[in-house]
Every structure is written in structure tokens, then in C-alpha cells.
Amino acid sequence: DTEVTQTPKHLVMGMTNKKSLKCEQHMGHRAMYWYKQKAKKPPELMFVYSYEKLSINESVPSRFSPECPNSSLLNLHLHALQPEDSALYLCASSQDPQRSNTGELFFGEGSRLTVL
Amino acid sequence: KQEVTQIPAALSVPEGENLVLNCSFTDSAIYNLQWFRQDPGKGLTSLLLIQSSQREQTSGRLNASLDKSSGRSTLYIAASQPGDSATYLCAVISGEWGGSEKLVFGKGTKLTVNP
């Protein structure tokens, strides 16, 4: 199983709403990532969790709040977003290279977010 | 700062052709290079991973090579098919896994294979 599952696939929200994106993997990977991708652009890193601890925050605005409840789950809580935050949000995971010898990244299908 | 360039930005070929996609990077201190495929509006599918100690990897009709010293990687697709039409992204990974790890993507090559 090399699957990263993201829900919901599509989300429309107003600027005052609070919503969450969810990501799940059962490959035993110990790093999980959130990326943001705008149309016709490559993905941009937002956050990295390593062994359930936040290790990288790429200066993301506080209206995006990540959470890693356990090694299989990663959430992205959204509050007071702006229309320019509309994008495809991708989750990825990878195994510690000391365990897997590769560190290969696996991505989910993404959550398409539209902020009205 | 690592910069990744992919050439060409777009490529249109007839079915059956063999083709080469190019990726170059400015900092050779990498530990992995990974090629992905992305269909419109979809996530990224991992195609091939080349670790820094390796020179090439093969999977079916795909072959990827890596020359760290010159900062180049190529993705070779043999006998292209219409189903290969997608955007191909090269990603260079450096730093320390899970800590200072940095993954930098190129802007991609949009491939169209015509029947």
C-alpha cells in the first residue's frame, strides 16, 4: 500500500468559515508534509512534521494551522482565509531514510480549496 | 539557494516516439532526485527516485539518469503513448530528512502525445 488519502477532495468556504483538511497514510512513514499548489505552478512546501513534531514551517500565515495527532494522520486547520488562498493542497509522506534507505516521497490526490 | 530548471516547458510528439526530458539543478549537494507525473487537477505520482549515490533507475518504459557533478538529470520515455500525456516534474531533495530537508521542484514539462 503506497497510498496517501486526502479528504475532502473539494472544499468551498467563505472567508469567515473554519474548516479542516485531513490526510492519512498507513505506510508507517514518519514524515508528513503539506504543500500548496497554484494553477500551472509547482508545489510549494508549507509544513513538515517529523516523528509527529513540527520541524519546518515555511513562514506560513497563522490562518493555516497544522496538526499531527499521530504518526498516520495530518490535519490542516483553516480559519479566516483569503480568496488568494484558493489552491490545490497536497499532502505527502516519506519514511526515515535510516529505516527505508530511500526517503521516497508519496503524494495524495490533493484537496481543491476555493475561498469565496 | 537551489534552483531547478526543466527543459523544455512543453513538448508535443506523435505516438511511438522516444523522448527525453531534462532537469538541471544549481547545487550538487543533494541526497535524492525524484521524478513525478501530474495529471490536470490531480496529485503527484512518483515515477522514479534516484539516490545521490546512484547513476540511473529504470521502471518499464522509463529511465532516469543522474549526473550530480554537472547538476543534471534526464528522464527518458521509450515508445511514448497518449496515456503518457501529463506534466512531468523533477524534484531535488537536499538537507537533512525531516529536519532541514528541502525539496525544490522544477516548473515541469507538459507532455502531449498525439495518437
Q: Tell me: the pLDDT tens digits for A55-94?
A: 989 899 999 999 999 999 999 999 999 999 999 999 999 9
Q: Does A55 touch chain B (CB under 8 A)?
A: yes
**Which of A43, A103, A108 comes nearest B97 by C-beta?**
A103
| Omega before residue A83 within 30° of 0, cis | no
H-state helical runs in A21-86: none
Instruction: Residue A56: name the closest of A69, A68, A45 by CA.
Output: A45
**Which of A43, A94, A102 comes nearest B105 by C-beta?**
A43
Burial B75-96 (b: 16+ CB within 10 A, else e): bebeebeeebbbbbbbbbbbee
CB contacts < 8 A (A, B):
66
Query: Is A90 in contact with B108 (Cβ distance < 8 A)?
Result: no
pLDDT in tens, B57-101: 999 999 999 999 999 999 999 999 999 999 999 999 888 777 667
The number of beta carbons lying within 10 Å of the beta carbon of residue B67 is: 13
